[in-house]
Structure 1
Amino acid sequence: MTALRPLSGVRVLDLSTLLPGPLATLLLAESGAEVIKIERPGRGDEMRTYQPRLGGTSANYAVLNRGKRAYAADLKNVAERDRVLALAAKADVVVEQFRPGVTDRLGLGYDQVRAANPGVIYCSITGYGQHGPNAARAGHDLNYLAEMGLLGVVADGTGTPPLPPTVLADIAAGTYPAVMNILLALRQRDATGAGCHLDVSITHNLQLLAYGYFATHQGGGGWPVPGQELLTGGSPRYQVYGTSDGRHVAVAALEDKFWERLATLVDLPTEYLDERGREKEIIAEMTRRIGAHTAEHWRTVFDGEDICAVVVATFDEAVESGLVDTDSTDRLIGEGFDVGTLPSPVDSALRRPPGALGYPALDPLPTGAVWSPR
């Protein structure tokens, strides 16, 4: 017997594109919700055009939109808009990612949907929130990190902030707050019967990621100096060091027990154990000692040691080690491909494996189905 998933019976209307909203609705789908995704006719979601491809769409689109039904509708066409509004009237949750005011002009804003569906949970994900001087501005992940102050806390030798390794803002400050607040709102509706409008501002939510800097500031310690704080390059205990073969070692030996053992393994003199006031000198010494050997040397030295120091892996190495799974039992299957799909933080015992492609037209939408993995 198939286990009942927590959101079974919940219907989600997804009007979002690209990453934050679609990833949020993917997690809802993984939890059992029925997700109906509306896309523009023809091209559909912009992410469908990305490379590489899986069958007729992009791999990015496929892994983010499995478990959903997707249909084309021209929201500027009154008749098609009205049919989408009829779907919203039967939805438990509506997720949209337009700039503030756009859904109102289209006739699909919160007030218009609430008039037909008083209990709806209406979630708006934007870069800067629904109100304020920045509300209507365009932006992407890098812009939000930059304007909030987080991007500048780390700097290279020239003082330039590095590009982040992934889209931190979209996921950590867009997707996850959206999912959390949708779940809380559904719980509140269970108790009160009332729906609500959730205003998820990516830039404002990034403050949570800056908790330490915020706490230091509130405690009178000022704001972080780029590249000089404990976790941003100012400490030899938390640093990325180069190896002799062009690889790197990531050290996060913050606690004394880890730092002291690491110092022994790299043959760092005991006089350097207390780095206070000598941070730059000891970073230079650690750089020299770790840089004298290859990554494989340090991998061997660190093997079995409890020191919070590791060789920076390539993705191939991460797959080989088993930390990245590209061939999971949850499959994404279509014409010409059968691949493992993206793991999610939802308990795998409750996840819906992807199935075949495509759906029949969703009555009463007139334009038929847009491709979507099931």
Structure 2
Amino acid sequence: MRLDGVRILDLSRLLPGPYATQLLADSGAEVVKVEDAGAGDYARSMEPLTDRGTGAIFEMVNRGKRSVAIDLKSEDGRAAFYRLVAESDVVLESFRPGVVERLGVDYETLSEHNAELIYCSLTGYGQNGPWADRAGHDLNYVAIAGLLDMTRESPDATPQVPGYPIGDMAGGLFAAFAIVEAVLARELGNADGEYIDVALADVVASFSQAVAYQALTGDPAEPRPGETPLTGGLPWYDSYETADGNWVTLAALEPKFWRAFCEAVGREDLVAEHGSDDPDVRAALRAELEELFCQRTRDEWEAALADVDGAVTGVYAPAELDEHPQFRARDLVERHGDAPPRIGFPARHRETPTETSEAVPEQGEHTRRYLAEVGYDEAAIDRLLESGAVR
């Protein structure tokens, strides 16, 4: 489904909201960043910086968008925004609850200007509940949702901060999904306008399905890495160090994969150990696998088992993504002109998608264009620029 013809006004900053609208822009939507007339999206200046002096995170999630700069605290600025809303399909915001009401850009107000408007609020804890007004970032959301606790192998171990901002990215992804869902419902005639409340903490919590039963029923009461089937409790589903200090993963959950692996490494004697509940058998099997995998390097194991359905892959660093033949074949890392490389849209369509711009907008670069489009003449635009209502 292409989103050509869908216009989205993005009031968000930093990572979750812009990632959501980047996915939508990559799907063909027209995304207009509505930045304040002061600093704008402060991800523009966050380190690390690209060679062009722009925040790397900003460049990664704002390709092909437009930017208008509006002071929503001014009457003239709000009036200009209302005109844009009347000609748009979606508004996404990520302010703390209550801010949009004070600014006069809440759903109830904006729906008076566009009855078919889809409005998505993307926040840390959602619009209700005792934590709704709390400040937070990704680390807080993965903490409350149980993910950070699940990085500890025992209650005495230190939680390990995930290598990627899971809450930010998951929340952005789910916001994009919810927006597409609402657009589709509207186009099918099942709804008009829609208000969507997405909480990053909720989305991370929904990722706990693999351990939710044990956690919610107390069987066991506190699932831990190294104890549950998908967190290292099974020796045939774990990671192992190799001869060069790298690691490989073995994920032979199904007996057929385990058998294929055992036969490929000449250890048919281990086939019958699969599925054992005996802790002593599992411990002995893990020791055997540790000794086995340390006999070759990561790349040697991958080469040796490349044609074996044993579910073995190496552990790679993010810096190695660009060189991996699988990601190269998928054209996942994109390069366009002098723009920094980026991880592209992670889905492929049979039909060639409409070409999208890779330009990163300057703050307010398209203000004049969009104001003219919604009915302001040149003199009126000049007055707004001079007053500071827009930039």
Task: Give the letter aligned to residue 232 of structure 2.
Answer: G
Q: Relative to structure 1, is the Cα distance of residues 112 and 168 closer, same or farther in structure 2, using a 3 angstrom cutoff?
A: same
Q: 1:54 to 1:40 in 2, by over 3 A?
A: farther
Of the three residues 66, 70, 74, the one matched with 1:73 is 70
Residue 93 of structure 1: how far off its partner (Å): 0.5
1:316-327 to 2 correspondences below 5 Å: 317-325=320-328
Unaligned runs of 5+ in 2: 387-391
Q: 1:143 to 1:295 in 2, by over 3 A?
A: same
Tell me, what secondary structure is at the counterpart of 1:116? coil
Cα shift at 1:142: 2.1
Task: State how far apart, in whole Å, the 1-side matches of 2:51 and 2:232 are.
Answer: 40
Q: 2 CA distance for matches of 1:255 and 1:192?
A: 42
How far apart, CA to CA, are the structure 2 residues paired with 1:217 and 1:63? Answer: 36
Q: Deviations over 1:3-58 (max 9, x none)?
A: xx732222211001112211211222222222111113343212212323152423
Code of the residue aligned with 1:225 in structure 2: it is P
Alignment partner, residue 140 of structure 1: 137
Counterpart code for 1:230: P
The answer as to 2:216 corresponding to 1:201 is: no
In structure 2, the residue matched to 1:344 is 345
Segments of structure 1 that go 5 or more residues without pairing to the other structure are 369-374
Residue deviations 1:108-148 (CA, integer Å, cap 9, x gap): 11111112222211100011110010101122222211111
Match of 2:310 among 307, 319, 325: 307
> Corresponding residue for 1:276?
277
2:10 to 10, 14, 19: 14
CA RMSD of aligned residues (A): 2.8
5 Å-filtered alignment, 1:349-360, equals 349-354=352-357, 359-360=365-366
Q: Tell me, what secondary structure is at the counterpart of 1:251?
A: strand
Q: Given that residues 26 and 65 in structure 1 are in contact (C-alpha distance below 8 angstroms), is that contact kept between their aligned partners in structure 2?
A: yes
Q: 2:103 aligns with which of 78, 103, 106?
A: 106
Quick one: which of 26, 38, 53 aligns to 1:30? 26
Worse-matched range after superposition: 275-284 or 142-151: 275-284
Instruction: Tell me, in whole angstroms, the C-alpha distance in 1 between the residues paired with 2:36 and 2:90.
Output: 20
Aligned residue for 2:286, secondary structure, equals: helix
What corresponds to 1:246 in structure 2? Answer: 245
The aligned amino acid for 1:37 is K
Letter in 2 for 1:44: G
Question: Structure 1 residue 128 and structure 2 residue 131: aligned?
Answer: no
Provide closer, same or farther for how the CA distance between residues 239 and 71 of structure 1 changes in structure 2, counting only shifts above 3 A: same
Instruction: Check whether the contact 2:214–2:223 (CA below 8 A) recurs between aligned residues.
Output: no
Quote the offset at 1:155 in angstroms: 2.4
Instruction: Confirm or deny that 1:177 pairs with 2:174.
Output: yes
1:222-301 aligned within 5 A: 222-227=220-225, 228-266=227-265, 268=267, 269-270=269-270, 272-278=273-279, 279-301=282-304
TM-score by structure 2 length?
0.82
- Is the contact made by 1:248 and 1:311 (CA closer than 8 Å) also made in structure 2? yes
- CA separation of 1:160 and 1:267: change in aligned 2, threshold 3 A: farther
Is the 2:64–2:357 Cα contact (8 Å) retained in structure 1?
yes
Q: For residues 334 and 274 of structure 2, what CA distance do their matches in structure 1 show?
A: 48
Q: Matched residues in 1 for 2:354 and 2:214: separation? A: 41
Q: Which whole-Å CA distance do the structure 1 matches of 2:39 and 2:146 have between them?
A: 35
Once the two structures are TM-superposed, the CA of residue 355 in structure 1 deviates from its matched residue by 5.1
Kindly provide the CA deviation profile for residues 56-85 of structure 1, in whole angstroms up to 9, marking residues without a partner as x. Answer: 423321231112111222222332233223
- Matched residues in 2 for 1:100 and 1:132: separation? 11
- Deviations along 1:142-192, one digit per CA (max 9) or x if unpaired, are 2211111122223257623332231222222x1222122212222322315
Worse-matched range after superposition: 152-161 or 51-60: 152-161
Q: Deviations over 1:316-338 (max 9, x none)?
A: 544333333497796544xxx24
Distance 2:360 2:228 in 1: 50
User: Closer, same or farther in 2 for the Cα pair 1:342/1:354, shift >3 Å?
Assistant: farther
Instruction: Please give the alpha-carbon distance, in whole angstroms, between the structure 2 residues aligned to 1:37 and 1:209.
Output: 29
In structure 2, what is the Cα distance between the partners aligned to 1:328 and 1:312?
18
Counterpart for residue 209 of structure 2: 211
- How far 1:97 moved relative to its partner? 0.5
Q: 1:272: how far off?
A: 4.2
Conservation of the 8 A alpha-carbon contact between 2:95 and 2:123: yes
CA contact (8 A) 2:10 2:92 kept: yes
TM-score, structure 1 length as denominator? 0.85
* Residues 327 and 196 (structure 1), Cα distance of their counterparts in 2 relative to 1, 3 Å cut: closer
Q: How many correspondences in the alignment?
A: 360
Give percent identity, aligned residues only. Answer: 35
Residues 110 and 317 from structure 1, CA distance in 2 versus in 1: closer, same or farther, beyond 3 angstroms?
Answer: closer
Q: 1:316 to 1:217 in 2, by over 3 A?
A: closer
Cα distance in 2 for partners of 1:23, 1:244 equals 38
**Distance in structure 1 (CA, Å) of the matches to 2:173 and 2:359:** 28
